Amino acid sequence: MTQVKPCHCLITHMHLSNFRVGTFNLYNLVLPNTVYYDRQKYSVQDYNRKVRWLGGQLDRMQADIIGFQELFHPPALEAVVNQSDYLKGCKIAAAQPSETGPGVAIASRLPILEYHSIEDFPEAAWLDIEEAEIPLRKFSRPVLLARLLLREGLECMVLVAHLKSKRPILPEDVDRQDPVELAKGQARALIRRAAEATALRAVLMEVLQDRNFPVIALGDLNDNGMAVTTQMIAGEPPWYKQPLEQRKKVWDVHLYQVKDIQARLGYGDFYYTHLHNGHHEALDHILVSQEFVAQYPNRIGRVSYVSVFNDHLVDETISRQGVAKWQSDHGQVVAAIELEG
């Protein structure tokens, strides 16, 4: 892992009693006059507007730890963070950039002790169907794994991910309007996302199993909370009729969605982070290990509240107004966590 020097904006962690963790899809944060996705680029004016808007969202979120997606250039994220009064000067750790597009990063007011990016699937996650291997061995966007110090004697592992979207994967020479070719393209995208979810689960098992420190996984998982791929990452909860010792082993490696924790505390469900063709979708997630779940007897804290910042999202099927490219086309999620003692 890469070790990180401390920065001047750190919380005085000796006295930390609660903190906030968030996830933020930046929607193509690229330096100005730099071509991305073949022909798109920001003017200096649009880039500056984007930096100001993103920095303003960070001040609204007031999160102490934030995982970012769709980052092309780390210096652009530094500009965004320094635009924020709340996070100005904080340490940023970015995953190694992929060859095909943007990556992920983390900014933290808490000390980042070390971090590293993961591009290759663990061998245990390699897939086959009826003995035919699926030739997927790498994340489309490398995952970031960071070890943070919450307070003296208490560490936390944070994983930031951005899985393959639902956008069809289509060869150059096919008719992109052909319904069958579109179905095949969607199947390819789903297979890749499922392979990445499997690999992510394998990575998480290495930091969850038989460990006594909390784990947080967050990011744009590109599907809703009940989707198979999202459930694969979290793991299946134990069957209630299993013996207690077996259930404890499952709880040890299970992750809990903060969305579900919030839903049990109130009567309304307003959790959506993306709009597509009129559908309100929840693609951005924060998952926590049992150490942050109130029902766990040996918890070291609990998720107390979850906020979704989605007021800027627009349903373009019923409005002529759209999301400006200097904003984000995703809502941001923040979970407040109260520590024991």
- Other CB atoms within a 10 A radius of the CB of residue 176 amount to 11
Domains of the chain: 2-339 (3.60.10.10)
Q: What is the mean pLDDT of the chain?
A: 89
Q: Is the four-CA dihedral 239, 242, 243, 247 of positive or negative sign?
A: negative
Average pLDDT over residues 244-262: 82
Q: How confident is the model at residue 263 (pLDDT cuts 50, 70, 90)?
A: low
pLDDT at 4 over 60: no
Q: How confident is the model at residue 255 (pLDDT cuts 50, 70, 90)?
A: very high
By C-alpha distance, which of 78, 77, 149, 159 is closest to 116?
159
Most confident of 142-156, 265-279, 306-320: 142-156
Q: Give the helix/strand (H/E) hosting 156.
A: strand 154-162
> Would you call 184 helix, strand, or coil by DSSP?
helix
Average pLDDT over residues 223-250: 85
